[in-house]
């Protein structure tokens, strides 16, 4: 059962969001030690930590997955599933092709111009989580926008089981996408190896992809040496619903998001106490058949809530959503146009009962790598823009130089930087 609340909404929101903090985590001491050892020890340290936390290995050569193993994994995937993967890749690629940043120039005066030069990042590391679930969709969502951006080298790392086996579906999708450099390694040790490289592995320029708390803290630790996409916390969903919507759909979507992991969060905000009661009954009915029932129950009891508001509560709904800043927002409400216009903070917005959040997870096209833990206040969905750099471009003609040069020289003198002023003066 999800707690139903009719007051103290802000307190409950802050209580739920507190679970996602990466500040002063006790794990950071261990993570820092792992990262530092791999930075200094390379292959030797990486092999040590993989043997300690993942599977027994003595050679770096065993960490890199050979092409034959990738091909065998691909052959074990049913052909109809390969077709579904191909369709998802096509949809995600088409969507992201609409978002490619373009280089541009603009005349400013005479023969001078300025602009922006867009350049793909050269080498990117993609981390794909393993553990209790398989995430081939995460391969698609991270690799495709990098490819659309023009990234030359894409490296994939994913944890394995105790025998050193990475899940077939992950390897199959990687093969379908043409990613050949794949490593069986996870956790903080994988992030450190990607960031610093080893004797047999070149470092990357940026690391993307979600993971557990050790992965996230390691990304935080290496940021600055490499770029990162974001500090991904547990997944979350907020649903805005009125009395007109189908409680079966609402319950199903809440359960779907709750099965990710015990720290996931789901919140329903409604202006109908009748709907709230129906959703509770539907949750109890549908939960019975769920394979990850224990995880879902923990999420519903600890990190979730149903907020029941009074009549004419659309402004309150908007305020609550902007405070939550959800990763996923579903709007099943007759006043959806007003709600969407007022909502500033949401990673992805799904409008209407058939715009199920699960479609965004897999095959519709938009990316499922989204800001979590309230970071939608300032962060965005993963896109092609995350895989390019933008360099400003200036082309100044000699005849136009005095027009802006004198003003620049005066600014330099105002700041007391005589060498800056001199760099202008010698050209005048």
The answer to whether residues 175 and 306 belong to one domain is no
The answer to whether residues 49 and 74 belong to one domain is yes
279, 251 contact by CB (below 8 A): yes
The answer to whether residues 174 and 244 belong to one domain is no
The answer to whether residues 147 and 51 belong to one domain is yes
The owner of tokens 């698609």 is 140
Residue-averaged pLDDT of the chain: 94
Range of the domain at 44: 28-228
- Look at residue 378 and tell me if it is in a domain: no
At residue 133, the pLDDT reads 65
Whether 420 is a known active-site residue: answer no
- Look at residue 81 and tell me if it is in a domain: yes
Would you say residue 131 has pLDDT above 70? Answer: no
- Which member of 96, 260, 328, 368 is catalytic? 328
d(CA 260, CA 236): 9
- Look at residue 341 and tell me if it is in a domain: yes
The answer to whether residues 357 and 420 belong to one domain is no
- Look at residue 386 and tell me if it is in a domain: no
- Which member of 54, 176, 259, 327 is catalytic? 327
CATH number at residue 268: 3.40.50.1980
Where does a domain end: 342, 366, 390?
366
The answer to whether residues 163 and 296 belong to one domain is no
CA angle (101, 107, 109) in 5-degree steps = 150
Domain count, the chain: 3
- Look at residue 87 and tell me if it is in a domain: yes
Whether 327 is a known active-site residue: answer yes
- Look at residue 319 and tell me if it is in a domain: yes
Where does a domain end: 170, 199, 228?
228
**104-118 average pLDDT score:** 95
The answer to whether residues 200 and 70 belong to one domain is yes
The structure tokens listed for 247 are 């409680």
The answer to whether residues 199 and 103 belong to one domain is yes
The answer to whether residues 181 and 41 belong to one domain is yes
d(CA 366, CA 137): 12
228: β partners = 207
Indicate the burial class of 299 (C-beta count within 10 angstroms; 0-12, 13-18, 19 or more).
buried
Where does a domain end: 181, 200, 228?
228
The structure tokens listed for 382 are 């993963």
For residue 69, CA distances in Å to 132, 171, 186, 344, 372 come to: 22, 9, 18, 46, 35
pTM, full prediction:
0.92
Would you say residue 420 has pLDDT above 70? Answer: yes
268-324 residue pLDDT tens: 999 999 999 999 999 999 998 898 989 999 999 999 999 999 888 999 999 999 999
356-403 residue pLDDT tens: 999 999 989 999 999 998 999 999 999 999 999 999 999 999 999 999
- Residues of the chain with pLDDT > 90, as a percent, come to 87
- Look at residue 82 and tell me if it is in a domain: yes
At residue 58, the pLDDT reads 84
The answer to whether residues 158 and 242 belong to one domain is no
Would you say residue 132 has pLDDT above 70? Answer: no
């Amino acid at each position: 059962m999800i707690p139903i609340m009719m007051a103290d909404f802000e307190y409950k929101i802050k209580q739920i969001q507190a679970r996602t903090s990466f500040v002063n985590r006790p794990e950071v001491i261990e993570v820092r030690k792992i990262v530092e050892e791999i930075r200094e020890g390379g292959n030797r340290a990486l092999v040590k930590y993989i043997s300690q936390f993942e599977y027994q290995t003595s050679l770096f050569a065993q960490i890199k997955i050979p092409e034959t193993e990738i091909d065998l994994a691909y052959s074990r995937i049913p052909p109809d599933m390969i077709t579904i993967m191909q369709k998802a890749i096509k949809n995600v690629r088409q969507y992201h092709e609409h978002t490619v940043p373009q280089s541009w120039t603009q005349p400013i005066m005479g023969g001078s111009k300025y602009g922006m030069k867009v350049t793909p990042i050269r080498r990117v590391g993609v981390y794909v989580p393993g553990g209790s679930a398989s995430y081939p969709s995460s391969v698609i969502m991270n690799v495709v926008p990098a490819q659309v951006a023009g990234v030359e080298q894409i490296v994939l790392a994913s944890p394995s089981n105790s025998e050193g086996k990475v899940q077939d579906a992950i390897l199959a999708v990687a093969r379908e996408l043409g990613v050949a450099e794949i490593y069986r390694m996870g956790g903080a040790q994988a992030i450190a190896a990607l960031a610093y490289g080893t004797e047999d592995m070149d470092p990357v320029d940026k690391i993307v992809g979600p993971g557990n708390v050790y992965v996230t803290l390691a990304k935080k630790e290496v940021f600055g040496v490499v770029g990162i996409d974001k500090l991904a916390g547990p997944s979350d969903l907020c649903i805005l619903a009125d009395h007109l919507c189908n409680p079966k759909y609402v319950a199903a979507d809440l359960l779907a998001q709750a099965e990710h992991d015990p720290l996931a969060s789901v919140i329903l905000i409604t202006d109908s106490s009748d709907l709230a009661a129906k959703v509770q009954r539907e949750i109890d009915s549908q939960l019975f058949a769920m394979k990850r029932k224990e995880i879902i129950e923990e999420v519903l009891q600890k990190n979730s809530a149903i907020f029941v508001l009074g009549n004419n509560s659309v402004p309150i709904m908007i305020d609550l959503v902007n405070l939550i800043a959800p990763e996923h927002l579903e709007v099943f409400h007759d006043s959806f146009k007003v709600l969407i216009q007022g909502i500033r903070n949401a990673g992805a917005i799904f409008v209407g009962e058939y715009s199920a959040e699960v479609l965004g997870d897999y095959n519709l096209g938009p990316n499922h790598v989204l800001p979590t833990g309230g970071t939608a206040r300032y962060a965005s969905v993963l896109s092609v823009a995350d895989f390019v750099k933008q360099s400003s471009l200036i082309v100044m003609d000699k005849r136009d130089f005095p027009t802006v040069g004198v003003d620049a020289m005066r600014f330099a003198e105002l700041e007391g930087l005589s060498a800056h002023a001199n760099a202008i003066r010698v050209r005048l």
